[in-house]
Structure 1
Amino acid sequence: MAAGQPVVVLPENVKRYMGRDAQRMNILAGRIIAETVRSTLGPKGMDKMLVDDLGDIVVTNDGVTILKEMSVEHPAAKMLIEVAKTQEKEVGDGTTTAVVIAGELLRKAEELLDQNVHPTIVIKGYQLALEKVQEILKEIAVDVKADDKEMLKKIAMTSITGKGAEKAKEKLGDIIVEAVTAVVDENGKIDKDLIKVEKKEGTSVDETELIRGVVIDKERVNPQMPKKVENAKIALLNCPIEVKETETDAKISITDPSKMMEFIEQEEKMLKDMVDEIKASGANVVFCQKGIDDLAQHYLAKAGILAVRRVKKSDIEKLSKATGANIITNIKDLTAEDLGEAGLVSEEKVAGDAMIFVKECKHPKAVTILARGTTEHVVDEVARAIDDAIGVVACTIEDGKIVAGGGAAEIELAMRLRDYADTVSGREQLAVRGFADALEVIPRTLAENAGLDAIEMLVNLRAKHATEGNARYGLNVFSGEVEDMSENGVVEPLRVKTQAIQSATESSEMLLRIDDVIAAEKLSGKEAGGDMGGMGGMGGMGGMM
């Protein structure tokens, strides 16, 4: 090889950041994401308005919604958004908490890296701290019974406080507890999909109601059908009420006009037979997943049967759970035993749209919350608040353990972790201390968002925990005082805390392990160049948002 000739390993449109550069960049990206949602934390958190490229607007302070709607290019930032998504999927609430803690852990890690502490030592220290945190949380958690509706309501209200639906939190708390307790299975587990949240704007949040059954956003297929059926016997069909087409492509040639009439009459007879079979089973309401022929609609209307077509598969399944009906794939198999029951099935106008209400089911294992709000954006935010609250109530029923909110748990964890750090040898001790300091970002942020003096509040909280030995003292952002959060009814499920801290720790560890970023630029119409397009301008974070 000729002397002085460069060795080209990577193509020219690839950028590479190594060592501290890569770490600094990733940490910065993570911290920017955390800073973005930080101001939304707590009862006094602010909202964000997100406008997409089509001009659609979302106004929310729900951490995961903000992060999902933001168009983020940076790969490290995307990894932090995954934390929020996992938190949402696993527990339904605490997404902002998880991301804010992750951002603070990264900030503390950066301080340690600047002191020449090796990333693997920071990671080891964080792992030790996480183990200890899980231990302490189990110690300070309080048992709650699945039938303690008062406590479950407080948990739902804590989740709703600070969101758009806050003014109706009492009523929503009751509705959510009723809904969740209705769908608990015999093993004490809860499938949140069985609680349908139907959104309709036009009136205030106070008009939100729980329907012990299912609401279908459809109308009757024929205006001649009854609008209201009491003591409904419900048939659920997964087959069309139409003349079946041949399986293979077939051509029928009719040469005689009389044969044509016979053919049409035969089709009509087939449809009439189908309706007769439905009628014979005793059904007076039919929900069909497929289509219903116009003529069949006429026969059903004559028979006084209310029918709805093209109902979503998920809604059919919920109807089955709510009414006890079996889903039938062939009308010939329909019998009286397959029918479900409901006290009332009616078509009602809600905000100008016709909807079918299946109410008064005896033991519904699927229910519907009809969320209301004055405008589309308000009702969307109400539905998000309901969704989060359903998650936390479900967690509490399944686990039976809660901790105090208002930053109480975090202050207690930080205090005990500092004591534990003294027992850790080596430089890992610094990382454990950093972890303890990072957890205090939650009470500090709660204070900042409420316009209180964060340092003063932190000092007061620490003093109260140290002198009283009570892990329930947190920050009441409304009075600006340090109070017993359990007495104030500010409580959260244990799982929300454990999951948030665990996800935050694991994602920050993952980012700290990265010491080399190799990224190809996005090829655009112009010459691929500039500041690392494929990574959203990683150098200056230009493409972050």
Structure 2
Amino acid sequence: MKSPVLVLKDSLKRDFGSRVRYGNIQASKSVADIIRTTLGPRSMLKMLLDAGGGIVVTNDGNAILRELDLAHPAAKSMIELSRTQDEEVGDGTTSVIVLAGEMLHVAEAFIDKNYHPSVICQAYNKALEDAITVLDKIAMPVDVNDPGATILGLVKSCINTKFTRQFGDLIADLAIDATTTIGVDLGQGLREVDIKKDIKVEKVPGGQLEDSKVLKGIMINKDVVAPGKMRRKILNPRIILLDCPLEYKKGENQTNVELVKEEDWQVLLKMEEEYIENLCMQILKFKPDLVITEKGLSDLACHYLGKAGVSAIRRLRKTDNNRIAKACGAVVVSRPEELQESDVGTGAGLFEIKKIGDEFFAFIVDCKDPKACTVMLRGASKDVLNEVERNLQDAMSVARNILKSPKILPGGGATELTVSAALKQKSSLIEGIEKWPYEAAALAFEAIPRTLVQNCGLNVIRTMTTLQGKHANGENAWVGIDGNTGAIVDMKEQKIWDSYNVKAQTFKTAIEAACMILKIDDIVSGIKKKQAIGTGPTPSNPKIEEEGDADNEQILPE
């Protein structure tokens, strides 16, 4: 017998080592180039067409990238950076892609000179550590108990790069109001703010954007079960929240009832009615004004509750039910027989049903100490409201970051220029082969201010030379570029700030991702090959391996 032969298909076409790195760097740079023009106040908008035929008009980095359909794996990992940044700190999604793309771009020259990727990555990691040290030095503490000019200025500088900057302070005020409403004090100057769970953004087309407001309570797209019988406006309501059905449990599969006499049917119906009446009486003995359940509510239960003057809402989302519990101080109960007085919510000042446009909305507002709230957005169309919501989410994330980590840094590219100047000075102290990649990383930080200058339509070389000269001695750490006018100004005077959390996360994510992509030296497909019709194992050679991967196929001997 012959020995087994391993056949490597298309081995000449496969890329190894530096060829793969060049391909990855080009793919990453392409992703960065797509959204480079969306950085800063004078940024362009992108119009995206989704698979369903809808359109999205935005300059939010994460919103643009998640709509892209890319085949290259390195480009996909770049898109993942933006999603990570958005989940972690909520802002800086464009900056992180631009910075990561620049880090890979400057590394290309060292790959040409046969530098080992580990050497480049080691220099980059050292540069990251020194960059975070510089951030700690120039960061300015903020008093979170004074949500005035400083926090407003920070949120406004975030909003100024967005579509909604034309509406002035409105979005910034909404974001600060919402986050300070739900903030839970943890002591030692720290606060816990969960904007995803505790803040609901309700978009209602119609009206003007100026009609948008933060409700000290909850707004849900529901009406009472029986509008004719039940009250639609209640002052200081007692609220009971349930996550169980108020209807008879029908055992469809597990129950077999045999009715012999006609009276048995009446007995069965009577049992059902008594069961529902018993449920309602257990609820009514706590004298509630409003009962809300996540499940169904039968007509008979509706009758008993309506007769007692209790309003009811059914089939509510669990997330909305939890928000109502946090807003009015109620406890969601699973079994009516286990209800206690402490489970009844008494923190709400008003329950009211309002009709906006063609739909009814229930408002549970004027809560005493709400730990959840709703932001009601009004606007001309759904497209405008969707973009306003994306901008509001970013603004709320920035406000949350300040409440969690009360430190700010200069905006307008000033932070990156300061870090770049500090790393250039330190590179002269580094010995050995790591010196040059370290210095290249220092230059890569200038990509952010350079992109801001480009998007302002200024002379890039002249403006960047002036900025580098001002930062060379390390004294003018707060000098940057005003993204609206293109002037070189002091960021403190213009109140253009960045959150420490956002900037630190941007640097860490960008450099760590660049290192990961540089260390890739081979791309191997793990997709199983589909067998062509009519090419199965033959009787003469039944042992052909059918599940080799796309590149390696092992052929066994006959």
TM superposition score normalised by structure 2:
0.90
For residues 484 and 422 of structure 2, the distance between their equivalents in structure 1, rounded to whole angstroms, comes to 27
The structure having more radius of gyration, on CA atoms, is 2
| Counterpart in the other structure of 1:170 | 169
| Counterpart in the other structure of 2:155 | 156
Structure 2 letter corresponding to 1:104: E
| Counterpart in the other structure of 1:51 | 49
Structure 2 letter corresponding to 1:417: L
Structure 1 letter corresponding to 2:159: I
Q: 1:298 to 1:125 in 2, by over 3 A?
A: same
- 1:352 lines up with 2:358 in the alignment: yes
Contact map agreement 2:418 2:474 (CA 8 A) in 1: no
Choose from 128, 138, 142 the match for 1:130.
128
State the shift of 1:526 in Å. Answer: 8.6
Per-residue deviation, residues 452-490 of structure 1 (Å, max 9, x unmatched)? 222222122222223681211111122221111122121
Structure 2 letter corresponding to 1:66: I
| Counterpart in the other structure of 2:194 | 191
State the shift of 1:12 in Å. Answer: 5.4
Structure 1 letter corresponding to 2:457: G
TM superposition score normalised by structure 1:
0.92
| Counterpart in the other structure of 1:215 | 219
| Counterpart in the other structure of 2:380 | 374
User: Where do 1:29-428 residues align within 5 Å?
Assistant: 29-150=27-148, 151-187=150-186, 188-192=191-195, 193-224=197-228, 225-246=230-251, 249-341=254-346, 342-428=348-434
For residues 416 and 32 of structure 2, the distance between their equivalents in structure 1, rounded to whole angstroms, comes to 17
Deviates more, 1:302-311 or 1:360-369: 302-311
For residues 236 and 334 of structure 2, the distance between their equivalents in structure 1, rounded to whole angstroms, comes to 24
Contact map agreement 1:448 1:454 (CA 8 A) in 2: yes
- 1:444 lines up with 2:450 in the alignment: yes
Give the match's secondary structure for 1:254: coil
For residues 13 and 56 of structure 1, the distance between their equivalents in structure 2, rounded to whole angstroms, comes to 43
Choose from 488, 494, 501 the match for 1:495.
501
State the shift of 1:115 in Å. Answer: 2.9
Give the match's secondary structure for 1:516: coil
Give the match's secondary structure for 2:494: coil
Structure 1 letter corresponding to 2:382: E
State the shift of 1:298 in Å. Answer: 2.6
Structure 1 letter corresponding to 2:322: E
Q: 1:131 to 1:357 in 2, by over 3 A?
A: same
Structure 2 letter corresponding to 1:297: C
Contact map agreement 1:142 1:403 (CA 8 A) in 2: yes
For residues 169 and 267 of structure 1, the distance between their equivalents in structure 2, rounded to whole angstroms, comes to 59
Contact map agreement 1:288 1:311 (CA 8 A) in 2: yes
State the shift of 1:245 in Å. Answer: 3.2
For residues 13 and 381 of structure 2, the distance between their equivalents in structure 1, rounded to whole angstroms, comes to 47
Deviates more, 1:449-458 or 1:501-510: 449-458
For residues 453 and 353 of structure 1, the distance between their equivalents in structure 2, rounded to whole angstroms, comes to 53
For residues 169 and 142 of structure 1, the distance between their equivalents in structure 2, rounded to whole angstroms, comes to 25
User: Where do 1:422-501 residues align within 5 Å?
Assistant: 422-466=428-472, 469-501=475-507
Give the match's secondary structure for 2:493: coil
Per-residue deviation, residues 22-49 of structure 1 (Å, max 9, x unmatched)? 0000111111111111111111111111
Structure 2 letter corresponding to 1:156: V
For residues 354 and 9 of structure 1, the distance between their equivalents in structure 2, rounded to whole angstroms, comes to 68
Runs of 4+ in 1 over 6 A off after TM superposition: 524-527
For residues 443 and 403 of structure 1, the distance between their equivalents in structure 2, rounded to whole angstroms, comes to 15
For residues 260 and 12 of structure 1, the distance between their equivalents in structure 2, rounded to whole angstroms, comes to 76
Per-residue deviation, residues 343-367 of structure 1 (Å, max 9, x unmatched)? 1111122342211111011000011
Structure 1 letter corresponding to 2:152: K
Q: 1:356 to 1:11 in 2, by over 3 A?
A: farther
Q: 1:525 to 1:479 in 2, by over 3 A?
A: farther
For residues 456 and 489 of structure 1, the distance between their equivalents in structure 2, rounded to whole angstroms, comes to 25
Q: 1:462 to 1:516 in 2, by over 3 A?
A: same
Q: 1:15 to 1:243 in 2, by over 3 A?
A: farther
Contact map agreement 2:422 2:474 (CA 8 A) in 1: no
Structure 2 letter corresponding to 1:166: R
Contact map agreement 1:220 1:306 (CA 8 A) in 2: yes
| Counterpart in the other structure of 1:23 | 21
Structure 2 letter corresponding to 1:27: I
Q: 1:319 to 1:10 in 2, by over 3 A?
A: farther
Contact map agreement 1:322 1:365 (CA 8 A) in 2: yes
For residues 11 and 281 of structure 2, the distance between their equivalents in structure 1, rounded to whole angstroms, comes to 71
Structure 1 letter corresponding to 2:81: V
For residues 200 and 31 of structure 1, the distance between their equivalents in structure 2, rounded to whole angstroms, comes to 39
Deviates more, 1:148-157 or 1:464-473: 464-473
State the shift of 1:11 in Å. Answer: 4.7
Contact map agreement 2:92 2:503 (CA 8 A) in 1: yes
Contact map agreement 1:14 1:518 (CA 8 A) in 2: no
Number of residues of Structure 1 aligned to a counterpart in Structure 2 = 525
Contact map agreement 2:157 2:496 (CA 8 A) in 1: yes
Contact map agreement 1:42 1:446 (CA 8 A) in 2: yes
Give the match's secondary structure for 2:184: coil
Give the match's secondary structure for 2:395: helix
For residues 100 and 264 of structure 2, the distance between their equivalents in structure 1, rounded to whole angstroms, comes to 76
